[in-house]
Homo-oligomer: A and B are copies of this chain.
Amino acid sequence: MINKVGREIPDELLNELGKTGFQGSHFRDNLSYKKAAPKIRSLNDNSRSKLCKSLREALEKCELRDGMYFGFHHHFRDGDYIINMVMEEVEKMGIKDITICASSMGAAHDPIAPLVEKGVVAGIQSSGVRGKIGEAISYGRFKKPAIIRSHGGRVRAIEEGDIHLDIAFIGAPTADEYGNARAVGGKSDCGVLSYSKVDSMYADKVVVITDCLVPFPNVPASISMVDVDYVCCVDSIGDPKKIVSNVIRVTKDVRELMMADYCARIISKSEYFKDGFSFQTGGGGAALAVTGFLQPIMEKQNIQMGFAIGGIMKVMCDLMDAGLVRKIVDAQVFDSAAIEHIKTNPNHVEISTSEYANPMNKGAFVNKLDFVILGALEVDTNFNVNVVTGSDGIVRGAPGGHPDTAAGSKCSIIVAPLIRGRIPTICDSVLTVTTPGEAIDIVVTDHGIAINPLRKDLLDTYKNSRLPLKSIEELRDEAYHIAGKPDPIRFMDKIVAVVESRDGTILDVIRKVEQL
């Protein structure tokens, strides 16, 4: 079928997946379904312990077998040791065909690539796929196509039963011997454990791996003992230097600052900009700078933010400390200042990823979002965005919360330079649709701003503003004029990855790239 973003999704793939193509952001709104549930084992004999002497013992107790699905989180980001540690042990045990379902994966997981050739890993389901894993996907080395989901989409897939996790492995900065796990404290402090909440509730077996065992009870717990089977304590679960960044980069790039200024002006002229408004930015230079530009406007107009959400950084914590933010709802922290902040400020609150963005629960935070500032590798004239495949066709990005916040928010703003590394950002047709154009409202570039014509209200709002408004086609033409229209990438027939929309329909497919 040709789906609503104009991509052809082969019927045999749809049949195999039991899915349909993307049919609009609210296609599956108000739909009734029975939630999935794990098969668990009770513990009420107080003489039994959950502590395992080694990861090996925990794996044996989980009755490991070929073909299992494993859940992992990415709160340790590039400092994560958990996935490699578990998969190394699995390889030693001679187990094959594991599917890794991680909230995201990154450069830290390059050691997994060789396990694909060895048959230990059969498939990847993740938001982020970068480094050697991304190459292994794009070069067609996995037995099964990768499934790429947004953060909200992953929770949905687990809660609806599309993914059934046999075992979830949860790296925990602190845990007690009954499995109450917290993100804060210990050697590998990561601020929140939001991505793991769904794993703990829906996996049959849950193993907490910590490098800091603390006295019972480790409360308030992000992951509750009532969902944990086994606890094992290892030397180290992550590299603190790579878990979060210690230094905030405040951009001095004139182009980024100009785009940030455009965004702040767009927001401040919006009907949604009033006391109690809500806001998310990504971690890019321009996006991050928007918060700084907003502060004086908020102060002048005596407007407080009702809530800030998303990956949280120092700049947002500072805004709260300045009295301009009522609540920070946090599903991921990006720097050490944010970690310290969540420990001490009761209005800075950890939420689960289902609360953040699951489109199929009874209402997530993204539904309540006014503004979101997002990045893009490519945006096409239908406002479709690609944040996953690079200009060489290889997967090296992550939708993350991009499609979730774009769909949920009242005003989603893409910030991207018109040209990036001699490649036009605005184009006729993105390589891969990872966020549908109907969810994108405004595109801000260093050469002008385009408003999605679907949003007639926004066209009206900004028509007399002094913002450099252009049509998306004008921006594309400028980009092509400057950088030239790139030659198309040659893909092979084989489908190596499926881009699932947040609601479980299929947005696009990614095909094999020939290895040079």
Contacts and interface: CB of A to CB of B under 8 A. Distances in A.
A227 B216 CA distance: 29
> In which size bucket is the chain A interface?
35 or more
Contact of A363 (B33, B43, B215, B358): B43
Nearest to A408: B46
A46 B329 contact: no
Contacts of A40: 32-35, 361-362
Interface in A384-410: 407-410
B219 A362 contact: no
Interface string A257-288: 00000000000000000001000000000000
A76 interface: no
Given A37-B36, A224-B355, A360 B219 contact: no
A213 to B, nearest CB: 14
Contacts of A219: 327, 329, 349, 351
Contacts of A35: 37-40
A130 to B, nearest CB: 28
Interface string A9-41: 000000000000000011011111111111111
Contacts of A215: 276, 306, 326
A185 B43 CA distance: 36
Interface string A334-376: 0000000000000001111011001111111101100000000
Interface in A30-80: 30-46, 48, 50
Interface string A208-247: 0000000111011000111111000000000000000000
B46 A30 contact: no
Contacts of A225: 355, 362-364
Given A229-B362, A349-B220, A362-B225, A367 B38 contact: no
Question: Which among A351, A360, A361, A368 has the greatest number of chain B C-beta atoms within 10 A?
Answer: A361
Contact of A42 (B31, B36, B228, B229): B31
Nearest to A407: B44
B226 A355 contact: yes
A202 to B, nearest CB: 9
A480 interface: no
A506 to B, nearest CB: 17
A312 to B, nearest CB: 14
Closest 7 CB pairs of A and B: A44-B359, A226-B361, A37-B37, A35-B37, A29-B45, A43-B363, A42-B360
